[in-house]
Structure 1
Amino acid sequence: MKADDLILFSQVADLGSFSKVAEVNNLTNSVVSKRIARLEQDVGTQLLYRTTRKLTLTEAGKALNNSAKNVKQAAQEALDSVSGFGESISGRIKMSVPCISGDLVLADAVAEFCTWYPELNIDMSLDNRFVDLVDGGFDLVIRTGYLEDSSLIARHILDSQWLVCASPSYLSRNGRPLQPQDLTGHNCLQYAYQTTGASDWEFKGFSGNYIVKVSGNFSTDNAIALRKAAIGGHGIAYVPRCLVYHDLGNGQLIDIFPDLVGKRLGIYAVYPFTRQPTKKVKMLIEHIRTRYLEIKHYFK
């Protein structure tokens, strides 16, 4: 049994005519008839009742058509996934990416993509805000967070785990908190980004996640500034693991509650529902996803 015969049979079932199927596929009626006859021979039973006026599925034909539709859909999805990939890549892509990911992986990944396709121009802005894709004219946005806008389509890339950390010098001066509730007695450096509450730190509990309300004398929407303040011993920070991955490895920062932090945000490639991604955007998304996955251990 050949997959293309199943797809042809599904078309016959949908269109109800050999001649219509022949026209769609640029075949002759006799070729369509012979291939359906071959399929019937392969399965060992009659699939269609043929009259001069119409074609009707037999019980066996109805059963086979359910599976044939899946084959047809899978084949179409496979073609769609690489549609236009052999064509030249040129023009312009306007995109927005979060600051941490931009510094960590996307600046290099996007510049590399431009090197591969010199006729392509990419305008990439680094912004933690949830920009308006349609009004802003963006072709692609990389977002970290919770997606609630139904007018957007998102491709999940990976999840980003957060942690609570501080420098050895801060902990030696102020003591190490033994449980999340102890943070209320410490100077907590606050990351004021997007719409997430900078002072609401989420932790895992036996009956579900809970929030500890913290306070401190330093707040910033810049991740690099927050990291430097933590390394400098000025307080405790609640940040994505990827931001301080190397600092944890070299001992400049210490992960205080390794298994208790409840914040884990998805990283997505997002584009408007009303605008199907072009081949160049599809290719860029795949390239970005590959580069993220190469360093996925930074985010766990």
Structure 2
Amino acid sequence: MRSTDDFLVFYHLIEQGSFSKAADQVGLTKSVVSKRITRLEEDLGVQLIYRTTRKLTLTEAGEVFFGHAREVHHSVQNAEDAMGGLGERLSGAIRLTVPTISGELILPQAIAEFSAKYPDIHIDMELDNRFVDIVEEGFDLAIRTGALPDSSFIARRLTDAHWVICGAPEYFARHKAPANSADLVDHNCLAYSYQETGATEWLFKGKSGPCTVKVKGNFSTNNASALRKAALFGQGLVYVPKVLVAEDLQAGTLVEVLQHQVAKCLGIYAVYPYTRHQPAKVKLFIEHLYQCYQGHKDKF
């Protein structure tokens, strides 16, 4: 199959009317363009143009080939225009994968505000606590919390998530609030099993750096909402991201303890594949997420 370049070189040659001008259009030297046309005529077994010192004239075969060359040029131009439109127009879809806590708390408001500004952009958000392969599964970006593995992806830090220990007033009516991490041995510590450091290993500030304290309790779950409700019902203490219980702490339905001793703090990132031409809609969405998370720093 003949290369598209042959059609494009021939098209520009006829359109410009000279080898030097055609060379400027296609980024080649005049001599290379001349050799390409000569080789093209040899390969096709026909003469395509009559060359004189003043002008180029198409032969009958040249007229036919130029018609096809013009169609190839228009097709290439249309394809480039279409791709440029996809990169810049503020419509279409954005697919993102997020962990449960992010998807249930801050993101719904952020997406609603973004959709109000750009109603033609469809946001498809999937909640999944597993480590999703963004490229393999066709996502534009992911929200991820914690240490990020080395990869070719780009990560935009949205904010830092501080963790807290808290319980309901009802629970503290039955149990004296802990004064330090050692006191947790006397408490029912509910476990959030979706943690990198382990559900029953709570991280604290130590004299020589962060240290873990082993705790125990009668309930564990990988669902943050269920863990929060268990705490609200007075079942025990929980060690969770502050954003999960920020409104409860403000309302007084949960009470924070060991506030200055808890050490866990994880970065929250928007992660996306590297691309030379990132669509404008994705770029705008990530910037909007950053502004939204920054605007809610008091909850983190």
Give the TM-score range, shorter chain.
0.5 to 0.7
Counterpart for residue 62 of structure 1: none
Letter in 1 for 2:103: G
Q: Distance in 2 between matches of 1:115 and 1:156?
A: 24
Counterpart for residue 53 of structure 1: none
2:110 is paired with a residue whose SS is helix
Q: Classify 1:204/1:195 alpha carbon distance in 2 versus 1 (closer, same or farther; 3 Å).
A: closer
1:173-229 deviations in Å (ceiling 9; x for gaps): 122222112212321111111544111100001110000111111111111111111
Tell whether the 8 Å contact from 1:200 to 1:212 is kept in structure 2 after alignment: yes
Q: Classify 1:275/1:126 alpha carbon distance in 2 versus 1 (closer, same or farther; 3 Å).
A: farther
Counterpart for residue 242 of structure 2: 241
Counterpart for residue 288 of structure 1: 289
Counterpart for residue 262 of structure 1: 263
Q: Classify 1:231/1:138 alpha carbon distance in 2 versus 1 (closer, same or farther; 3 Å).
A: same
Q: Classify 1:218/1:133 alpha carbon distance in 2 versus 1 (closer, same or farther; 3 Å).
A: same
Give every structure 1 segment of 4 or more consecutive aligned residues whose post-TM-superposition deviation is greater than 6 Å.
Answer: 83-86
Letter in 2 for 1:252: T
Shift of 1:277: 3.2
Q: Distance in 1 between matches of 2:112 and 2:89?
A: 18
Q: Distance in 2 between matches of 1:100 and 1:167?
A: 20
Counterpart for residue 102 of structure 1: 103
1:135 is paired with a residue whose SS is coil
Q: Does 149-158 or 190-199 show the bigger shift?
A: 190-199
Counterpart for residue 220 of structure 1: 221
Counterpart for residue 16 of structure 1: none
Query: Map of 1:1-300 to 2, 5 A cutoff?
Result: 87-193=88-194, 195-273=196-274, 277-299=278-300
Q: Distance in 2 between matches of 1:195 and 1:182?
A: 24
Q: Distance in 2 between matches of 1:281 and 1:153?
A: 13
1:144-174 deviations in Å (ceiling 9; x for gaps): 1111132321001110100111112112212
Gaps of at least 5 residues in structure 1 are 1-22, 24-82
Q: Distance in 1 between matches of 2:274 and 2:200?
A: 34
Q: Classify 1:199/1:275 alpha carbon distance in 2 versus 1 (closer, same or farther; 3 Å).
A: farther
Q: Distance in 1 between matches of 2:179 and 2:277?
A: 50
Shift of 1:269: 0.6
Q: Distance in 2 between matches of 1:182 and 1:235?
A: 14
Q: Output the aligned Cα RMSD.
A: 2.4
TM-score by length of 1: 0.68
Letter in 2 for 1:94: R
Letter in 1 for 2:251: N
Q: Distance in 1 between matches of 2:86 and 2:113?
A: 18
> Percent of aligned pairs with the same residue?
54
Letter in 2 for 1:136: E
Q: Classify 1:128/1:196 alpha carbon distance in 2 versus 1 (closer, same or farther; 3 Å).
A: farther
Q: Distance in 2 between matches of 1:189 and 1:197?
A: 12
Q: Distance in 2 between matches of 1:194 and 1:178?
A: 24
Q: Classify 1:276/1:148 alpha carbon distance in 2 versus 1 (closer, same or farther; 3 Å).
A: farther
Tell whether the 8 Å contact from 1:189 to 1:235 is kept in structure 2 after alignment: yes
Q: Classify 1:221/1:171 alpha carbon distance in 2 versus 1 (closer, same or farther; 3 Å).
A: same
Shift of 1:276: 5.7
Shift of 1:252: 1.2
Q: Distance in 2 between matches of 1:118 and 1:236?
A: 42
Q: Classify 1:242/1:123 alpha carbon distance in 2 versus 1 (closer, same or farther; 3 Å).
A: same
